[in-house]
Amino acid sequence: MKSRATTLFGIAILCLFQLCLSSCGDDDLKKAAPLSAKDKLILNRDRTIGVEIIYSDSALVKAKATAPILDKITPKSGAIYQEMPEGVKINFLNEKQAVKGSVTSDYAIQRESEKLVIFKRNVIVVNEGLTFNTEELTWDQNKRMFFAPSGVVTKPDGTMVNANNFSATEDFSVFKFEQGFGETYLDKKFGE
């Protein structure tokens, strides 16, 4: 009697199992969206931890960049690029190898073929003449210029300007923007 109950129980489980499998028919595969040629598939992702990159010109070190993670990505189509998903810090150096300015961000991507580096999220540029805060900054290596759609320029005297269409030379010694507004502080002698 016990073996017959066990057999019936086993048959019931088998029927339930078959019922579950029959609901997983190949019709579901036909309903799935096919991959299009526009979809970016990554063929390879090489990850490096604790990266330091040195930029030099004429055997003189101009900048040192550090990033916790650097991913070199080879997509199925398009050019290879490098991504820094946990941010980057670049220190610019003078002739005596002292830090004269820096750029930090929470994310960056370098498009080698286009000679562009795009910094995103909490981007801060600091040098002796200004501090610039923005959410996106692009370094065009061909033009040797930085560009940002908007940001806040703060001068050492406390002057603050909200700037649109910001652009600056590589060393941020010359910069310009459109539609700026902000606060400035004047010397007492100015009004006398």
- Tens of pLDDT, residue by residue over 107-116, are 999 998 899 9
Q: Which two tokens stand for residue 109?
A: 């991507």
| Any domain includes 163 | yes
CATH number, domain containing residue 131: 2.60.450.10
Parent domain of 102: 41-187
| Any domain includes 179 | yes
| Any domain includes 35 | no
What does each of the 192 residues of the chain score in pLDDT, given as a tens digit?
Answer: 455 555 555 555 555 545 444 555 555 555 555 544 445 566 677 888 998 988 888 888 888 989 999 988 888 877 888 899 999 999 988 888 888 889 999 999 999 889 999 999 999 999 888 899 999 999 998 998 999 999 998 888 888 888 889 898 887 888 888 876 555 655 656 445
pTM of the complete model beyond 0.75: no
| Any domain includes 20 | no
Domain count across the chain: 1
| Any domain includes 10 | no
